[in-house]
Amino acid sequence: MPKQTPYPNALAPITLGSVTIRNRFMMGSMHTRLEAMDHPTERQAAFYAERARGDVGLIVTGGYSPSENGLIEEGGPLFNSVSQLPEHQKIVQAVHDEGGKIFLQILHSGRYAKDDNIVGFSDIRSPINPRTPRVLSGQEIEQIIEDFVECADLAQQAGYDGVEIMGSEGYLLCQAVVERTNNRTDEWGGSFEKRIRFPLEIVRRVRQRAGSGLGIMYRISALDLVDQGATGDETVRFAQALEEAGVDVLNTGIGWHEARVPTIAYMVPRGGFQFAIANIKKNVGIPVIASNRINTPDVAEELIASGAADMVSMARPMLADPYFVKKMIEGRKNEINVCIGCNQACLDYIFSFKVTTCLVNPRACREFDYKTEPAQTQKRIAVVGSGPAGLAAAVNAAERGHNVTLFEAATELGGQMNLAKKVPDKTEFYELIRYFSSQLEKNHVKVKLNTLATLENLQEGGFEDVILAPGIVPRIPDIPGIDHPCVVSYVDVLQGRAKVGQQVAILGAGGIGFDTAMLLIHGKGDSAPDTAEFLHKWGVDLSLKEPGGLSPEGPQFPEPSHQITLFQRKPSRMGKTLGMSTGWALRLELEYSGVAFEPGVSYRKIDDEGLHYTQNGVDKTLAIDTIVLCTGQEPMRGLYDELQRAEIKAHLIGGAKEAAELDALRAIDEGTQVALAI
Ligand code: NAP
Ligand code: SF4
């Protein structure tokens, strides 16, 4: 550890049972679906090895089921045979070669399984799964315990430094512990002691078989955030029993997957659930690991220095930047690519049966496909536009040795990200702009702000390739009266330029319609989520006395600043196009804040009486003070056609290429890909 690091606590080594870890950073378990691709072992080894090379102390693999009946989905990761040892040995070796340690996560999905072979402690269906579980017999429960022991034994044979027994987020072990999902009357149900017997037996027997040479981590649910979940007192008693049973370290999880409180997305304040983690830490003698929305070195240091936890788990931040810890150690904090909590390319991809990657780092999980190799011929390249597509293109092209000039007509870098960062709770976008700025400087990109790129100045610059990412312009729909003074664009609202009245109609219910509604109900933009406010409004019980950590009063959202009606022409459910793992929370927040949803409309006209529209064949008029247009975008292509005519090699990317459904994910990916190909 460097002597003068500002992170003396986070970078100090720690011993977990018999395993010494070089610093307090753990890459938490993630399902990547790399196992479903070609060369799965090589891909996983490359993925984990890069994170170990980036100095993360400990890595936990994605969850492996110890038995067929615990698979998350058909063909999901399973580790139940010695024939699989060679593939695991390769992964372990790759991490050890880079000086890292690695634990295997053992996960039984229980009633979260997405196939028909679904089992549970009771036949109580999860609200997020249409399948009802078949009740496990006592004999089958005994068999699952043995399956965990066998799997841990295989992990030890493969060379893993330890195992993480997955007991949070609502999977089978959680399901055994609480009455919500366990109504058994045999020796596995009834009293609290009987309900925690199943995970305790697993730990005891794994320890018995493995001896002291294998690290045992248990991921405990620090806060269930569901009705009939555990109280704080029960969680502490359970944690103490796990310590007694032979666990070396407790990792923590917040909220079951079916919880209706956001737990990891951008609207959750950084380190926002530490009160529940600290409650475990102060009641046990073994190290405790904090998780959920820890994405910067300062948050990690603060959590450990304050005594709330001994280590931090960062899963998504290790997708965003494999070299996070190395950059901290080397005093290059400003170069860290921070996870912005969007979930768009990690969780949302997993839920859509795709391989995980990362919005801010499209190389994540594609280490084989996105290789940054020096350019064979160095070229003079102009990049036009400094939105996410242009920034990614400029940085990646310069990193490969090209001589890059970036043109931006505005006074600041960032393009549409400068609007996104104005949305309440979306201030993480500042981090993305900060990261790209550091990379432009590091890679000596010449940045020309306040400079409109034209055919003339591009010709004068003698550029051999032009990457065009000028972006989009907001779409103005063809509605009679659209130029009425009450009509404003989302751009004016997000930038704080428009005067918005009390009664508001928002036309268009895509991501930007929802974001604009959020800004208007909050009454202010540009604000990072506040922990006390967040926990109060989502109904989290800070006293930890209530079952599941939910306050009896339920969610308490403040009175909105405006009365809002959100419109769309499609008859489908509003917000259907939002991210799967974030859209539900946005919808709920708008509902709790009294926003009215009007799908399936056709707009007739706008005049002094308000908005005239037709819905289900009925003509209606809504009196409004302000109409905000969030009706999508059109591409800005003008310069591309000019360059084509002048026979200058131009690559059109981002919104300028295809405005429909453009988001930062596609923009950064396209910018990266074009730069890697020149
Ligand atoms: P969008 O998602 O395409 O939504 C545009 C909305 O305008 C739709 O609701 C559409 O619904 C309506 N519309 C389109 N053409 C119209 C017309 N001619 N007249 C009237 N209404 C029209 O676009 P966006 O909201 O501007 O977002 C742009 C991109 O950023 C999207 O890819 C979005 O996913 C992304 N984004 C994502 C988030 C997020 O939370 N993940 C946040 C912000 C932005 P109807 O046609 O049914 O009326
Ligand atoms: Fe973080 Fe978004 Fe990347 Fe997921 S996709 S790791 S949430 S930045």
Q: To test ligand 2's pocket by mutation, which of 29, 266, 340 has the most ligand atoms within 8 angstroms of CB? A: 340
Enumerate the active-site residues: 171
CA atoms 18, 24, 28, 34: torsion sign: negative
Does ligand 1 lie within 6 Å of residue 510's CB atom? yes
Beta bridge partners of 253: 221
Ligand 1 centre to CA of 513 (Å) is 7
Question: 387: closest CA among 368, 406, 359?
Answer: 406
Amino acid at 666: R
Ligand 2 centre to CA of 206 (Å) is 34
Ligand 1 centre to CA of 435 (Å) is 27
Question: 320: closest CA among 339, 344, 292?
Answer: 339
Does ligand 1 lie within 6 Å of residue 513's CB atom? yes
Is the model's pTM score more than 0.85? yes
DSSP labels for 155-209?
HHHHT-SEEEEEE-TTSHHHHHHSTTT----STTSSSHHHHTHHHHHHHHHHHHH
- Report pLDDT for 556: 95
Assigned token pair, 303: 């959590």
CA of 661, closest atom in ligand 1: 32
* pLDDT tens per residue across span 202-232: 999 999 999 999 999 999 999 999 999 999 9
Distance CA 78, CA 115 (A): 14
> Which ligand is nearest to the Cα of residue 510, counting in written order?
1
Does ligand 1 lie within 6 Å of residue 578's CB atom? yes
Does ligand 1 lie within 6 Å of residue 416's CB atom? no
Residue 144: strand, helix, or coil: helix
* pLDDT tens per residue across span 454-513: 999 999 999 999 999 998 999 999 999 999 999 999 999 999 999 999 999 999 999 999
- Report pLDDT for 638: 77
- The single-letter DSSP state of residue 449 is T
Does ligand 1 lie within 6 Å of residue 597's CB atom? no
Does ligand 1 lie within 6 Å of residue 515's CB atom? yes
* pLDDT tens per residue across span 5-41: 999 999 999 999 999 999 999 999 999 999 989 999 9
Ligand 1 centre to CA of 639 (Å) is 25
Distance CA 161, CA 19 (A): 7
Question: 629: closest CA among 553, 516, 472?
Answer: 516
Q: Which domains does the chain have, with CATH numbers?
A: 14-351 (3.20.20.70), 380-473+634-677 (3.40.50.720), 476-524+561-631 (3.50.50.60)
Does ligand 2 lie within 6 Å of residue 294's CB atom? no
Successive 10-residue mean pLDDT values, the chain, 678 residues:
83 97 98 92 96 98 97 94 98 98 98 94 96 97 98 98 98 98 97 98 98 97 98 98 98 97 96 97 98 97 98 98 98 97 95 94 92 92 97 98 97 94 92 97 98 95 94 95 98 95 97 96 83 96 97 94 97 93 96 97 98 98 98 89 90 87 89 96
Distance CA 447, CA 437 (A): 10
> Which ligand is nearest to the Cα of residue 343, counting in written order?
2
Question: 276: closest CA among 315, 231, 218, 226?
Answer: 231
Does ligand 2 lie within 6 Å of residue 398's CB atom? no
CA of 340, closest atom in ligand 2: 8
Ligand 1 centre to CA of 46 (Å) is 37
Does ligand 1 lie within 6 Å of residue 654's CB atom? no
Q: To test ligand 2's pocket by mutation, which of 294, 324, 343, 668 has the most ligand atoms within 8 angstroms of CB? A: 343
Ligand 1 centre to CA of 475 (Å) is 10
Beta bridge partners of 503: 563
Q: To test ligand 2's pocket by mutation, which of 268, 316, 349, 428 has the most ligand atoms within 8 angstroms of CB? A: 316
CA of 343, closest atom in ligand 2: 7
Does ligand 1 lie within 6 Å of residue 632's CB atom? yes
- Report pLDDT for 376: 93
Does ligand 1 lie within 6 Å of residue 243's CB atom? no
* pLDDT tens per residue across span 548-573: 999 999 999 999 989 999 999 999 99
> Which ligand is nearest to the Cα of residue 569, counting in written order?
1
Distance CA 424, CA 419 (A): 11
Q: To test ligand 1's pocket by mutation, which of 576, 602, 628, 631 has the most ligand atoms within 8 angstroms of CB? A: 631
Report the DSSP pairing between strands 601-607 and 610-615.
Answer: antiparallel
- The single-letter DSSP state of residue 13 is -
Ligand 1 centre to CA of 571 (Å) is 14
Ligand 2 centre to CA of 625 (Å) is 38
For residue 234, what are the CA distances in angstroms to 18, 127, 281?
A: 28, 24, 14
